[in-house]
């Protein structure tokens, strides 16, 4: 199970997340995001062995994604734009983000070569931390590994896991004190609630 904390901008928050049980950390490389972090700054944030380093990208050319991945030592590219499989970076795993609305059609993603689909709530032009959830029942039975994101915190992650049966869960804005600054108490509560739901 992937327990991901996204929007990491400091070593303090990264360390607290890993101590709470996070198995993946997200770094946002979309320049317009309030959680943007420069690739060289992300590279300075150390992570434990086995913790996946995930980069958030929006419509970046694959060569640019791979360049940033090398600098920031990424394991996964989380693609939030209009990227199609021929434009996926070849050097690392891909999680393709899908905005879930009532009329979303998942059939076109069943043959998608991405390792997983990251299902996020509707959020206009925001990428990586909108705080809006979706009907998690829509995520069940897609036929691919899924990571549920969008509006998760300690109060609802157990329900999301029960309804969606995901491979992973991802929290960001609802466990922050400000964009890019984690509230360690809320973050730890989310991680503990997610772990408890998995072992229920």
Chain segment 7-43, per-residue pLDDT in tens: 999 999 999 999 999 999 999 999 999 999 999 999 9
Active site residue 6: yes
Please tell me the pTM assigned to this model: 0.94
Mean pLDDT of 119-143: 74
CA distance 136 to 113: 23
pLDDT at site 124: 46
Tens digits of residue pLDDT in 76-89: 999 999 999 999 99
Using only the alpha carbons of the chain, give its radius of gyration.
15
Cross-strand bridge partners of residue 25: 5, 53
CA dihedral 161→145→33→48, nearest 10 degrees, is 80
For residue 2, pLDDT beyond 80: yes
Closest CA to 166 of 154, 150, 149: 149
pLDDT averaged over the chain? 92
Nearest by Cα to 88 from 112, 72, 108: 112
Q: Is 170 a catalytic residue?
A: no
Q: Pick the catalytic residue: 6, 13, 153, 172?
A: 6
Q: Catalytic one among 13, 105, 120, 172?
A: 120
- CA separation for the pair 121, 109 (Å, rounded): 17
β 116-120/168-171 pair status: unpaired
| Percent of the chain residues past pLDDT 70, beyond the cut | 96
For residue 102, what are the domain limits?
2-198
The answer, yes or no, to whether residue 91 has pLDDT greater than 90, is no
| Percent over 90 (pLDDT), the chain | 78
Which pLDDT score is estimated for 127?
Answer: 55
Least confident segment among 63-67, 107-111, 193-197: 107-111
User: In which region does residue 180 sit, left (phi positive, over 0), alpha (psi from -120 to 50) or beta (all else)?
Assistant: left
- Torsion angle, CA of 112/118/123/124, rounded to 10 degrees? -30
Averaged pLDDT, 155-164? 96
Residue 160 host element (H or E): helix 157-164
What CATH number is associated with residue 116?
3.20.20.70
Q: How far is CA 33 from CA 7, 83, 99, 118, 165, in A?
A: 9, 18, 17, 18, 29
Residue 130: pLDDT over 60? no
Tokens of 180: 């890019």
Total number of domains constituting the chain: 1
């Amino acid at each position: 199970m992937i327990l991901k904390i996204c929007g990491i901008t400091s070593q303090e928050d990264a360390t607290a997340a890993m101590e709470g049980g996070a198995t993946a950390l997200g770094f946002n490389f979309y320049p317009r995001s309030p959680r943007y972090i420069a690739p060289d700054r992300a590279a300075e944030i150390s992570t434990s062995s086995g913790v996946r380093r995930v980069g958030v990208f929006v419509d970046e050319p694959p060569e640019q994604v791979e360049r940033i991945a090398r600098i920031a030592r990424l394991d996964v590219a989380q693609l939030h734009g209009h990227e199609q499989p021929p434009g996926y970076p070849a050097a690392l795993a891909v999680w393709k983000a899908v905005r879930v609305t009532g009329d979303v059609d998942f059939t076109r993603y069943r043959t998608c070569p991405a390792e997983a689909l990251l299902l996020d709530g509707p959020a206009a032009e925001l990428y990586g931390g909108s705080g809006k959830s979706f009907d998690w029942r829509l995520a069940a039975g897609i036929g691919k590994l899924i990571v549920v994101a969008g509006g998760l915190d300690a109060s609802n992650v157990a329900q999301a896991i029960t309804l969606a049966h995901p491979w992973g869960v991802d929290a960001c804005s609802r466990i922050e004190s400000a964009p890019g600054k984690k509230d360690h108490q809320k973050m730890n509560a989310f991680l503990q609630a997610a772990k408890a739901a998995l072992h229920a």
